[in-house]
A and B are shown apart, each in its own frame.
Chain A
């Protein structure tokens, strides 16, 4: 995975951690999904990037 994509995932996970910092299992589950979904969204230029990343 290239550095730009990793940065995108890390940035997303930072936000998730800020809001759910005391919930390790939840963060683990989100991390696993984010690592596969965020590259997919970027590759497909899928509009749902907003749904996943911004729909808090």
Chain B
């Protein structure tokens, strides 16, 4: 289970707007297919290497198993940096990337999705090239546009799912989001929709961040302000610092991380290892009662240790952010059935899946003293299903 079934590395050559040739490295880690086709996102970021993708693919195996849907685990991407590239350059890169990847994936083999640096624009370019090379229109990628095979709620799913999961956690303590102060890191897809759902449930979101620092808005980021952030990040591709220029109630803390802000609930939605032991201690001191990871492995082992020692509610990403891949699984189902479910249908299924994952965590993670160790619960629940399938299929 710790050795990938297949690790593919390949050259991606492309030409920029000035006619210069660039060479990047592309990867696909096909980690485990015991319970379904490999499934996991593609990440385009300069930090991408085999170690990062293997950790993500490894976690994906457990996460996908937890969703109750038939999906194996995989991950891929490239060290290509989409930041500052023109649309044409991104398109040429995506096409070059898929011209090799297409021979390794397929709707019954391996179904990639987006991740950091791969959004609907990139999925479009990747899908287009796959369709051209293979001459077939299939559900080979998820996160597709609504008019060409995508699922409703897919863009919102990871963020919504994280909040649904946190809601289930709070319920075990007789609490909910109503009136709670929530600190969110990141300002991408996951953070934006987590914020949207928190607002919907009556919580108050006071921070968002990016690699430059974080903004703290004491009055709360309301719907209108969130719409501004979405436009800023998704269309203008600007920096979060611009938020503090637009809204006087906010301040921008350059280079800072939002964990120093007093809150009831923290949702780390940026990237791996963004929340260390020291930050965890600060959160606990500030009476934070619940931490649910929207990103993958944002808390360091020291941070997790602190949360568990203080016995506050803590959910690892492989449980709390599984809503994204779960909805990808629902997109695959819709593609296979050649139908499209309504927004309400998908949302309802997502909610049910997140509740099921929460129940599994409780089943396997509840300690003798009544404290639920969600890390243990998620790992064991995910493991059991995959291990049983591997044993049933014999030594292969």
Q: Which residues of A approach B to under 8 Å, CB–CB?
A: 16, 19-20, 22-26, 28-33, 36-37, 40, 46-48, 51-52, 55-56
Please provide the chain B residues from 35 to 71 with a CB less than 8 Å away from any CB of chain A in the complex.
50-52, 54-55, 58-59, 62
By a CB distance below 8 angstroms, the chain B residues around A24 are 51
Instruction: Classify chain B's interface size.
Output: 20 to 34
A36 touches B297 (CB 8 A): no
Across chains A and B, the number of contacting residue pairs, with CB separation under 8 Å, is: 74
Provide the residues of chain A in CB contact with B384, threshold 8 Å: 48
Residues of A near B391 (CB, < 8 A) are 47-48, 51
A48 to B272 Cα, complex, angstroms: 29
Report chain A residues within 8 Å CB of B170.
none
Asked if A37 contacts B301 (CB within 8 A), the reply is no
Chain B residues proximal to chain A, CB less than 8 Å:
1-3, 50-52, 54-55, 58-59, 62, 272, 297, 301, 304, 316, 364, 373, 375-376, 379-380, 383-384, 387-388, 390-391
Bound-complex Cα distance A37 to B384 (A): 9
* Contact A56–B297 (Cβ < 8 Å): no
| Cβ–Cβ contact B383 & A33, under 8 A | yes
Asked whether, in the complex, the Cβ of A26 is within 8 Å of the Cβ of B1, the reply is no
Partner of B1, one of A20, A28, A36, A52: A52
Complex Cα–Cα for A20 and B50 (A): 10
| B316 proximity list for chain A (CB < 8 A) | 32
A40 to B390, CA, bound (A): 17
